[in-house]
Structure 1
Amino acid sequence: MKKKVLVTKNLLKETEERVKKLFDVKLNKEEKPYTTEDIVELSKDCDGILCFGTNKIDASAIDKLSNKVKIIANYAVGFGNIDIDAAAKKGIVVTNTPEVLTEATADISILLLLGASRRAYEGRKFAEEQSWSWKTDFLLGKQMSNRKLGILGMGRIGRAVAKRARGFGMEIHYHNRTKLAAHLEEGAIYHDNIKSLFNNSEFLSINCPATKETTNLVNEQSINYLPDGAVVTNAARGDIIDDTAMIKAMKSGKVFALGLDVYNGEPKINPEYLKLNNLFLLPHLGSATIRTRIDMGNRAIDNLENFFQGKKPKDQVN
C-alpha cells in the first residue's frame, strides 16, 4: 500500500508525475497558498509532507500534526521555516534539498552584484522613457574588476560565488563559522569576525543560512564597518538584513547600491525600498531554472522514498 503524502504547492510536470507514481498524493491543484492551519488539517491522514520554504511549520504546528506524519521533506536548501527541534521531539524527520541549487543561486548572486553596481534598474527606466542622451557622467556605476569581494557564508553557494567572482579578478574575503581547508579556500582570505570582513568588502555578497545568530546581522553597526560606497547583495534570506538600517545607509550613500533576491515579508517588501533608485530587486529567483527546480523536486522525493523504505534520508537535518 502506497504511503500518503501532502504536497503543499505545485511541482513541475516531471516531478509531479514521479511523486504520483510513488505515493498516494494530495496535490495543491488550485495552487492556493496553504496556511499553517491548512497544512495541519490536510495532513491528518498523511504519512509525510512535501512542503516548501514559504510554508511555516513552527513548534505549535508540529505539536498539532497527526502522529501519523513521520517525515517533512522541505523543497529548499534552507529549513528555517520548520522547527526542526520540535519535529525531532515528536519523532518527525526533516529533510532539505542541498547541492542541487548551488550553481543557479551563485549565478543570481553575480547578477545581483552586477545589476546593483551598474545601476541596471535606473538604466531600464531611462531606456523605457526613450529620452536619454549619452554623456560622460551618465549613470556611472561601480566596476567589480579587481575589487575586494566579501562573502558572508562560504558554504557551497558562497564558494560557487567566489569561483565566478575570480573571473572578474576580484580578491575574495570571507567569514564563516569555521575556517575552510586551504583547498576549499582557493586563496580566499578568512576573517574570524564580521567587522574585519566588512572592513574589507567593497562588494558584499550575503550567502549564509538563516539562523537565530544571523537575524539582523547586517544592521546599523555592522553596515558602518563597510567602506563608504559599498555594494551589498543578498541571495540568502531576508531577515539577515535590518531593513531600516539598510534604507538609511542607501539614502546617505554609505551603501552605493543594494541587490536583493530575498527580503523580509516576501512577497511584500518595505515600501521605503521602492522609493529608492539604488535598489536592484528580484522576486526570489535564486533556484529558478528548469533544471534546478526538477532536481530539487527529485531530491525531496528521494528523501521521502528512502525514508519510507526504512533508510536514512540523505538530506536529514534533525
Structure 2
Amino acid sequence: MGAERLSVVVTRRLPEAVETRMSELFNVRLREDDVPMTREELVAAMKDADVLVPTITDTLDGGLIGQAGDRLKLIANYGAGFDHIDVSTARQRGILVSNTPGVVTEDTADMTMALIIGVTRKIPQGAALMAAGKWEGWSPTGNLGGRIAGRRLGILGMGRIGQAVARRAAAFGMQIHYHNRRRLRPEVEDELGATYWESLDQMLTRMDVVSVNCPHTPSTFHLLSARRLKLLKPAAVVVNTSRGEVIDENALTRMLRAGEIAGAGLDVFDKTQKLNPRLYELPNVLLTPHMGSATLEGRVEMGEKVLINIKTFADGHRPPDQVVPSML
C-alpha cells in the first residue's frame, strides 16, 4: 500500500508541526475547527478513509466501527489510552489499532506530583485567598498544610507512569507502596524502594496519599469504590491523573464534603456522567482540566508516534505501537 495513496482523516486539531508532516506524507484531511466530530461525521470519515486518527474525545464503539468502510484498515489513536475504542470489534473487522505509549509518562508524573504537593500544602486555598484579596499577612498558624517527606504514597498501577511517579515521590522523601496486577521484578522494586501489596484493601487503610495511575478497563471501573474509599484514613489525600472512571466520583465527593477524606487532586473525571458540581465548591479539592500530558513537547512526540505507526503500516509492516489483546 503506497503512502502517497493512503487516505488519512484526523478528528481534532493537532500541533502544527504534526499536521504539516502528515500533509507531506499522506492524503490527509485535517480538522479546521478544534471541536470533536459528531457521530455522523465519524461514520462518514470511517467510510472514506484508510486510516483514522482519533483522540480520547471520540467514542469509537462497536456500533460505530461496524459502519466502517472496507477501506479502513488502521485506527492510529493520538494518545496512550484506548478505552474509548472497541478494540475487539475493530479486530473482528480486520482493523488494526495503535496508540502512543511512553510519550506522556514524564509529563503525567510531573502533574501527579504537582497535585500531591498542591493538595497537601493547601495551595488552592492559598491561591483563592490571594485572588479574593483576603490575605491579611503572615501568621504562624495560617494556611498550614502538611509535609510531603515521610508520607506513605500508595500507587495504584505500577506501569511506566506509576514508576515515574515513584521515582519523583522518593526524591521528595515519600515512602513508596503499590498495588498492581503483577508484582514488579525484585530488582525494580529495590531500585524504586517500593513495597508491594497484593491486597488493595490492606494498602488503602495505611496510606497517606493514594495516586491512581492504572488504565481504565472493565476490571478497573470504580476500582476505588465507595467501600474502598471508606477504608482510607480521614487525613488521606487522593490524586487521579489516569481516568476518572477508576474512582466512584460521587462517593468521593460525598466523603470530601463530610471530611472523611482530607483532600483530592483530580485531573480526570468520569465521562459516563456530568461532573458533580459539588466538587467545584470544595476548598480541599484541586481540579485541573485533563492537563496531565499537556506539554507542547509531549503533544508533538505523540504526533510523531502516530506518524511512525501510519508510515510503518503503509510500508506493509505491523505498527510498532499496535494494541494487542493482552493489553485489554
**Which TM-score tier does this pair reach, normalised by the shorter chain?**
over 0.9
Quote the Cα distance in structure 2 between the aligned partners of 1:43 and 1:63: 10
Question: Does 1:168 find its partner at 2:160?
Answer: no
Structure 2 residue corresponding to 1:59, chosen from 50, 58, 62: 62
Quote the Cα distance in structure 2 between the aligned partners of 1:19 and 1:255: 47
Structure 1 residue corresponding to 2:150, chosen from 130, 143, 146: 146
The answer as to whether partners of 2:47 and 2:67 remain within 8 angstroms in 1 is no
**Deviation digits for residues 193-235 of structure 1, max 9, x if unmatched?**
2102212211111100000111111121101221221011000
Question: Does 1:159 find its partner at 2:159?
Answer: no
Amino acid at match of 1:168: F
Taking structure 2 as the reference length, the TM-score comes to 0.94
Amino acid at match of 1:19: M
Quote the Cα distance in structure 1 between the aligned partners of 2:44 and 2:90: 17
Aligned-pair RMSD on alpha carbons?
1.4
Which residue in 2 is equivalent to 1:15? 18
Question: Does 1:303 find its partner at 2:309?
Answer: yes
Deviation at 1:119, TM superposition (A): 1.5
Which residue in 2 is equivalent to 1:258? 264
Question: Does 1:75 find its partner at 2:81?
Answer: no
Quote the Cα distance in structure 2 between the aligned partners of 1:267 and 1:48: 30
Where do residues 194-273 of structure 1 align in structure 2 (5 Å cutoff)? 194-265=200-271, 269-273=275-279
Provide the aligned length of Structure 1 versus Structure 2. 318
Cα 1:268–1:27 shift into 2, 3 Å: farther
Quote the Cα distance in structure 1 between the aligned partners of 2:163 and 2:93: 35
Quote the Cα distance in structure 2 between the aligned partners of 1:31 and 1:223: 37
Deviation at 1:136, TM superposition (A): 2.6
Deviates more, 1:236-245 or 1:261-270: 261-270
The answer as to whether partners of 2:45 and 2:52 remain within 8 angstroms in 1 is no
Unaligned runs of 5+ in 1: none
Q: Percent identity?
A: 39
Amino acid at match of 2:318: K
Deviation at 1:313, TM superposition (A): 0.7
Quote the Cα distance in structure 1 between the aligned partners of 2:49 and 2:23: 14
Quote the Cα distance in structure 2 between the aligned partners of 1:267 and 1:239: 9
Taking structure 1 as the reference length, the TM-score comes to 0.97
Deviation at 1:7, TM superposition (A): 0.2
Question: Does 1:115 find its partner at 2:111?
Answer: no
Quote the Cα distance in structure 2 between the aligned partners of 1:301 and 1:193: 41
Amino acid at match of 2:246: I
Which residue in 2 is equivalent to 1:93? 96
Deviates more, 1:306-315 or 1:126-135: 126-135
Three-state SS of the structure 2 residue aligned to 1:115 is helix
Three-state SS of the structure 1 residue aligned to 2:277 is coil
Amino acid at match of 1:291: E
The answer as to whether partners of 1:2 and 1:22 remain within 8 angstroms in 2 is no
Deviation at 1:29, TM superposition (A): 1.0
> Segments of 4+ in structure 1 off by > 6 A?
none
